[in-house]
Chains A and B, each alone.
Chain A
Amino acid sequence: MKRTAPLLIAATVGFIIIVSTFIPYTESWGEDSMIWFDILAAVAFVLGGGNLLKMNLKKVSERRPGWAYSAIIIAAFLITLTVGLLKVGTHPNEVFWNKPWSGDYIGEGSALWWIYEYLIYPLTSTMFAMLAFYIASAAFRAFRAKNMEASLLLGTAFIVLLGRTYAAIILTGWLPELAHDAEPSFFGQLWNGLRLEKLTETIMGVFNLAGSRAINIGIALGIASTSLKVLLGIDRSYLGTGED
């Protein structure tokens, strides 16, 4: 029963969504089932938050290695939760001047805005910016002209890397550009096509696009097949085992 119920729910909702694609009368059923998921996911926040608190409180109380990090997590979690739930607004409020902290709770100057502007924004930006460093180190380590295919990949990477910057103009800007209104001659097209920014466009728009489409077709078929197996209950491994 513990496994049959989820399978039944998955199958029913899945088939409702498929049917709602083809039968206009059932369109809203598909929408409703997706809203149910949102409600479930929202309730699950409580579960996740509870687990986060439990795990980190345990770590702090047992003074396990790295417990100070857990303490920071608990403090950050509780402060943000309190500020958000109590809707602590800006102060003073121009309309209700005698009610403290009752202004706009998400506008400039509010507690949530401070958390966003001075914590979340710089922290997430820092993490994203680290990609620049990791890309450099990964490229330094992984790109080797070991064989023909790798060499082609390397050459393509150089063209795209340079073609996406002003380096393209510096290096190949001297090649004649095709005039908009002129009837393009063979050589005109050739020279124009050899400009790095044009080569980049060709690589991205032709070779990369063709490869992407092939991978996407495979992925789409994989998704269809996996979804069907889940809906029909053939693949139950996500529930642990094949048994009920």
Chain B
Amino acid sequence: MYEFLKTLDRRWVFLLMFLAVATPILLKVTFPEKPSAMVMDVFNAIENLPEGSKVLMAWDFDPASRGELEPMASAFTRHCAEKKLKMYYMALWPLAVPMIQDSIRILEREYPHLEYGKDYMNLGYKPGNEGVIKVVITNIRKLYTTDHYGTGVETIPMMNGVTSVQAMDLIVNVSAGDPGTKQWVQYVATPFKKRMVAGATGVQAPQLYPYIPEQLIGLLGAIKAAAEYEQAVINGYPHLAKIATAKEGLRRMGPQLVGHVLIVLLIILANVIYFIGRRRGDSR
């Protein structure tokens, strides 16, 4: 047994991880979540905005991180729609455009009274990474002469008076890397004192904590925070509890729990093998 475990083929580990993730998904195991103080900071930043405030929804993620970030992007969209805020979607990643379309589909399906061009709009993707941010913060029309669908921004009612991103009352960024939250903080939130909240992957989040609370009001890190934020939005707007897709983050916490516990057990097992080997005088 010791020899088998000592030279354990990594495919056994892969199999265990597969089972750890698949089982709670198939059994639909969910756990209750309680929003943390940080999540409530994010929630309140949106909740305290008056109706009609302008919010830039900067979605900078792609299908690869959709599993982790889409629940928070959807929750941000629902929260802003409930608050009747004006939503301006834009992307610095080419593959983020379908992510915006997913959010817009939520608005079309669940908030049919909201009107494109008056309550929300899709500025779409522009190449240039952080260069785009540096331009739109001083002059949005230098890069965005039309929206994503080719309509001139001059003809879109909610673009009236919006000459730059400085006109926004809040920036909401969901990002999986660069360009993303770091760049929005560096080139917009910090120099122009714009209020900003963000959502990031678990790997990215630790790099963004230094920006809180001065440059970032709050941050949703990984699926755990997404689930807590969903819970906070549901607590504030209980009718959302009936919508299954409004609880995607909560649903994904089951596999996360079992996966994390498996990793802990694997590390303990590896250390047991290591100490047995050391006592036996094995070279490795």
B271-A136 in contact (CB<8A): no
Interface of B (DSSP majority class): helix
B13-A162 in contact (CB<8A): no
A201-B36 in contact (CB<8A): yes
B209-A212 in contact (CB<8A): yes
Within 8 A of B (CB), among A107-128: 113, 116-117, 120-121, 124-125, 127-128
A165-B65 in contact (CB<8A): no
Give a binary string over A59-81; 1 marks a CB under 8 Å from any B CB, 0 the rest: 00000000000000000000000
Interface-facing stretch out of B75-83, B109-117, B161-169, B255-263: B255-263
A165-B14 in contact (CB<8A): no
A201 to B264, alpha carbons, bound, how many Å? 19
B209-A167 in contact (CB<8A): no
Q: Give the distance to chain A from B103, nearest Cβ to Cβ, in Å.
A: 14
A56 to B271, alpha carbons, bound, how many Å? 46
A133-B253 in contact (CB<8A): no
Task: Pick the most buried of A127, A139, A164, A205: most chain B CB atoms within 10 A of its CB.
Answer: A164
A240 to B261, alpha carbons, bound, how many Å? 49
Point out the residues of chain B lying under 8 angstroms from A144, CB to CB: 270-271, 274
A136 to B14, alpha carbons, bound, how many Å? 8
A205-B209 in contact (CB<8A): yes
Point out the residues of chain A lying under 8 angstroms from B207, CB to CB: 212, 216
Point out the residues of chain B lying under 8 angstroms from A18, CB to CB: none
Give a binary string over A194-213; 1 marks a CB under 8 Å from any B CB, 0 the rest: 00010001001100110011
A5 within 8 A of B: no
B157 within 8 A of A: no
Given A124-B62, A136-B262, A204-B209, are A197 and B36 neighbors across the interface (CB < 8 Å)?
yes
Point out the residues of chain A lying under 8 angstroms from B270, CB to CB: 139-141, 143-144
Size bin of chain A's contact surface: 35 or more
Can you name the residue of chain A whose Cβ is closest to the Cβ of B126? A38
B224 within 8 A of A: yes
B266 within 8 A of A: yes
Point out the residues of chain B lying under 8 angstroms from A137, CB to CB: 10, 13-14
Given A158-B264, A212-B210, are A38 and B131 neighbors across the interface (CB < 8 Å)?
yes
A133-B13 in contact (CB<8A): yes
B95-A136 in contact (CB<8A): no
Point out the residues of chain A lying under 8 angstroms from B261, CB to CB: 162, 165, 167
A137 to B253, alpha carbons, bound, how many Å? 21
Point out the residues of chain B lying under 8 angstroms from A186, CB to CB: none
A146 to B270, alpha carbons, bound, how many Å? 12
A208 to B142, alpha carbons, bound, how many Å? 40
Size bin of chain B's contact surface: 35 or more
B134-A120 in contact (CB<8A): no
A34-B263 in contact (CB<8A): no
Can you name the residue of chain A whose Cβ is closest to the Cβ of B17? A136
Point out the residues of chain B lying under 8 angstroms from A37, CB to CB: 131
Checking A136, A165, A213, A216 against B224 with a beta-carbon cut-off of 8 angstroms, the contacting residue is A165
A239 to B74, alpha carbons, bound, how many Å? 46
Within 8 A of A (CB), among B119-138: 127-128, 131, 134-135, 138
B97-A128 in contact (CB<8A): no
Within 8 A of B (CB), among A92-117: 106, 113, 116-117
Give a binary string over A155-173; 1 marks a CB under 8 Å from any B CB, 0 the rest: 0011001101111010000
Given A136-B263, A165-B253, are A128 and B131 neighbors across the interface (CB < 8 Å)?
no
B271-A145 in contact (CB<8A): yes
Can you name the residue of chain B whose Cβ is closest to the Cβ of A151? B271
Q: Give the distance to chain A from B198, nearest Cβ to Cβ, in Å.
A: 15
Within 8 A of B (CB), among A204-240: 204-205, 208-209, 212-213, 216
Q: Give the distance to chain A from B63, nearest Cβ to Cβ, in Å.
A: 4
A164-B260 in contact (CB<8A): yes
B50 within 8 A of A: no
Point out the residues of chain B lying under 8 angstroms from A42, CB to CB: 127
Point out the residues of chain A lying under 8 angstroms from B253, CB to CB: 165-166
A to B CB contacts below 8 Å, 6 in the list: A125-B63, A132-B17, A133-B14, A136-B16, A143-B271, A144-B270
| Other contacts beyond A31-B135, A128-B65, A157-B267: 12, CB < 8 A | A34-B135, A35-B131, A106-B97, A120-B95, A121-B98, A136-B16, A136-B263, A146-B274, A154-B267, A158-B264, A161-B264, A165-B224
